A and B are shown apart, each in its own frame.
Chain A
Amino acid sequence: MLYFSKIRIISIAIFTIIFVYLTTSNFLKFDDNIIGKKINLGLDLQGGSYLLLEIDNRPVITQKLQNKLSLLRNYFKNEDIKFRNLKIKNNNIISFELGEDFVEKFTSIIEDKNNNINPYYQKFKTHEFIFNVEDNVFNLQYSDYGLVLLKESSLDQALEIVRRRIDEVGTNEPNIVIRGSDRILVELPGLDDPLRIKSLLGKTANLTFRFVVQNDEPSFGSEKLSFIDGTQDDVIVSKRIILSGDNLVDAKPRMDNQTNETVVSFSLDRVGSKKFGKATTTGVGKRLAIVLDGKVISAPVVRDAIIGGSGQISGGFTFQSATDLALLLRSGALPAPLNIIEERTVGPDLGQDSINSGILALVIGFFLVIFFMLYKYKIFGLIANVALIANLFLLVGILTLFEATLTLPGIAGIILTVGMAVDANVLIFERIKEEVKVEKNNIIAFDSGYNRSKTAVMDANITTLISAIILFFLGSGPIKGFSITLGVGIFTTLFSVYFIARLLTALYVIKNKNKESLI
């Protein structure tokens, strides 16, 4: 155990130097930083916001069922199938009753893989819908697979919209990723007040233009809606959509020169221009409601036909609210509402405080351990300390190499590694002490000390590694950072103990092999 070939010594030295370089490159600005890598600071250290959004798919499901329902109605009419009570139950089941003679026919159609009512997915051998029939009453609902598909597509869409909205605000290197089947994680480094982003993400931004109906009570095909600012009485608005936000190609806040009011001007795509032109031509004199997420922004009277494919929305905006509305319209509507189910925001000064106190604790803990080891083991304490310092460089170097994220618990993990890393050397030194008592030849004693302590060192480190691995997979955010430093720390500890400390021990023992009471 004490023999090292020249090549091995040189490789250990080179390896260590590389990691010393990697570590120091984090703190010093090398002009020729070949690696160009740096440890990332977690949100808890650099400040920033962490938002977990959950998509509420219920409206999407209802919407899709609504579409499916009209598809079925048309189908029944075209095929002359007699049906009754076609409706949506509990927001998730399409139910209808067929005439006795049609039950079998329809069953065979709905099971046919080529029909467009219940598409058949060959790959997974599964349907979008499952159904049951009882007394000629069909109940159709989404299958698990159908729901997965639906959730996937709405999540993908939502991710895209969220990304666009955040990009429009222009924050620093946002991290936006999908979590699970219905969540989006947004990390915004450096942002200490996420209020604006939260309010932007909290809106579906479903914009529609609909005519106001001159009834007193809402009837079939119309609904009563209130104004966003609550300043005017509720109006009855037709459910028929003239134009939706999908047809918008651009939107900008603007100052209206005539009224001196901030407005949002928009331009429409070709289809939108045509629809809008047609509707406003026939609808001169009527009030056109501009509805955002079920609330009326304004309902101006149409004075002239608008055929140029552009227009403007007024509604008592401030410049800020007009800017936000324009941003929302440009980036598009979310497929479903998003709820913020978890938020963690750390201000930059707290982050800096955490870094400072973390480093202070590290330095003090480090020196306490170093002095204790020197006191306890003298020259071998020095060797253990050299290994410990190398260990720190290796640990930070590896974190740099993988551009890992360092969190406050991560710093705690490093400090803990300092305390626990010396354990391996302690185990070895204590064993050597025992061996020296029975074996007068120093080299043999040291050699067997290293050999016999090996299983204990391994077992002791593997148990800690198991904890670190489990933490890594089940922990979230900052805790993950802790598990990374703890886990990587075990490998660097083993390296520093078995290569660096052992090498130094070997050199020392071989030189002083005839000395008595060496340790």
Chain B
Amino acid sequence: MEIYQINFNKYSKAFNIFSISLVIFSFILLLFKGLNYGVDFKGGTLIELRAIDKQITISQLRQSFLNMNLGDVSVKEFGKNNDFLIKFEKKDNDKSNFIGEIKETLTQSIGSGFNFRKVENVGPKVSAELLRSGIIAIGLSLAAMLLYIWIRFEWQFSLGAILAIFHDVILTLGVFSLFSLEINLSIVAAVLTIVGYSMNDTVVIFDRIRENLNKFSDIKIFDLTNISINETLSRTIITSITTLLALVSIYIFGGEILKGFSLAMILGVIFGTYSSIYIANPILILLNVSQKTISKEDKDKV
């Protein structure tokens, strides 16, 4: 088997600065550029249109909508097969025949060689609620993780883990902001799964650190984290690879709907693996975790 003896902590400072600047950069992006919310969170109407008649073009569709005076409309090609994704920003589309009107107008202007494969119409009230419950879900899962680690380990570990997760979530959202990728309900699910995955990765290393703290009474935390990371490194790599294999398969073959979701997860797994090494552990060092921290815990338990 491979025995890893990489001195991770040697690069710790450089990577810490790197991480902090990435987080700050993501924050600035989120603050000033913001996120590209889909209809789930912004409200509006989304239509996925498939043209059976191959003559239909984007500009034809745009022109038809322009004549309808529907406010902001975005039309773009989507996947293969002459599919188009049409988004209406207008929020007061709760008229029950809005979709019917669009269908009628399109039939008049471009003929009947198309069908609607998907229609989503989300009112402003619902979208606000979805956004709120998404934020609550992410906040709640962070809190639950914090609590779980606190119970299983010590508060220093808990803090390290939570900062690592925070880092992963912020960076993932930062990438979505940078490339204006759409944030919808499935991205929230992805972020929550990232929280779980990143935690999972961190916990395995923490578990080993705790074990090693009990095993070696004379090694300082600085070297101990390094030993523990190396001992668990092959597992970290293998699990990341198998998870990424599954995710890349979803990204490539799973169709358009799962693209955003799997991309967010892929980013999350990469950030999560990195952060358990370079965020979670340096915090243990920073907080001066020692054999005493653990033995105190053991005494409490007795």
- A residues apposed to B, CB below 8 Å: 44, 52, 54, 192-193, 195, 198-199, 201-202, 339-347, 349-350, 353-354, 357-358, 360-362, 364-365, 368-369, 372-373, 376, 408-409, 411-412, 415-416, 418-420, 422-423, 426-427, 430, 433-434, 452, 455-456, 459-468, 470-471, 474-479, 482-483, 486
Contacts and interface: CB of A to CB of B under 8 A. Distances in A.
A369 B141 contact: no
Given A199-B96, A346-B118, A459-B203, A471 B137 contact: yes
Interface string B234-267: 1100110111111111101111011001100100
Contacts of B189: 409, 471, 475, 479, 482-483
Contacts of B255: 353-354, 357-358, 361, 408
B253 A361 contact: yes
A289 B189 CA distance: 55
A252 B199 CA distance: 63
A52 B234 CA distance: 49
Interface string B202-245: 01100110010000000000000000000110110011011111
Contact of B136 (A344, A369, A474): A474
B133 interface: yes
Given A369-B242, A409-B189, A466 B145 contact: yes
A339 B122 CA distance: 12
A420 B235 CA distance: 12
B144 interface: yes
Contacts of B244: 419
A504 to B, nearest CB: 19
Nearest to A339: B94
Contact of B238 (A44, A364, A365, A376): A376
Interface string B92-110: 0010110110000000000
B99 A463 contact: no
19 contacts: A195-B97, A339-B94, A339-B123, A341-B123, A342-B121, A344-B118, A346-B117, A347-B116, A358-B254, A365-B249, A418-B246, A427-B235, A460-B201, A461-B200, A471-B137, A471-B193, A474-B136, A475-B185, A476-B185
B159 interface: no
Interface in B80-136: 94, 96-97, 99-100, 115-123, 125-126, 130, 133-134, 136
Contacts of A357: 253-255, 258
B120 A416 contact: no
Contacts of B145: 463, 466
Contacts of A343: 99, 119-122
Interface centre among B119, B211, B247 (most CB of A within 10 A): B119
Contact of A354 (B99, B193, B257, B265): B257
Given A409-B186, A426-B238, A486 B193 contact: yes
Given A422-B239, A470-B140, 5 more contacts: A201-B96, A339-B123, A426-B242, A467-B192, A475-B188
Instruction: With a 10 A CB-CB cut-off, give which of B122, B211, B243 has the most chain A CB atoms.
Output: B243
Contacts of B185: 475-479
B18 interface: no
Given A364-B253, A475-B189, A342 B195 contact: no
A361 B134 CA distance: 27
B168 interface: no
B232 to A, nearest CB: 7
Contact of A341 (B125, B203, B249, B258): B125
Given A361-B254, A418-B246, A460 B97 contact: no
A398 B156 CA distance: 39
Contacts of B126: 52, 341-342
B38 interface: no
Nearest to A408: B257
Interface string B135-171: 0110011001100100010000000000000000000
Contacts of B232: 430
B243 A416 contact: yes
A199 B99 CA distance: 11
Contacts of B195: 467
Contacts of A195: 97, 99-100
Contact of B186 (A345, A426, A434, A478): A478
Contacts of A353: 255
Contacts of B249: 361-362, 364-365, 368, 415
A409 B193 CA distance: 12
9 closest pairs, A vs B, by CB? A419-B246, A365-B249, A467-B196, A357-B255, A202-B96, A341-B123, A463-B199, A361-B254, A474-B137
Contacts of B116: 192-193, 345, 347
B281 to A, nearest CB: 16
A456 B204 contact: yes
A347 B133 CA distance: 28
A149 B266 CA distance: 49
Contacts of A455: 207
Nearest to A342: B126
B244 to A, nearest CB: 7
B148 A345 contact: no
A234 B136 CA distance: 52
A345 B141 contact: no
Nearest to B199: A463
A69 to B, nearest CB: 31
A491 to B, nearest CB: 15
Given A415-B250, A483-B189, A460 B200 contact: yes
A213 B185 CA distance: 55
A340 B94 contact: yes
Contacts of B199: 463-464
Contact of A463 (B122, B130, B203, B241): B203
B1 interface: yes
Contacts of B246: 365, 368-369, 415-416, 418-420
Contacts of A462: 148
B253 A372 contact: no
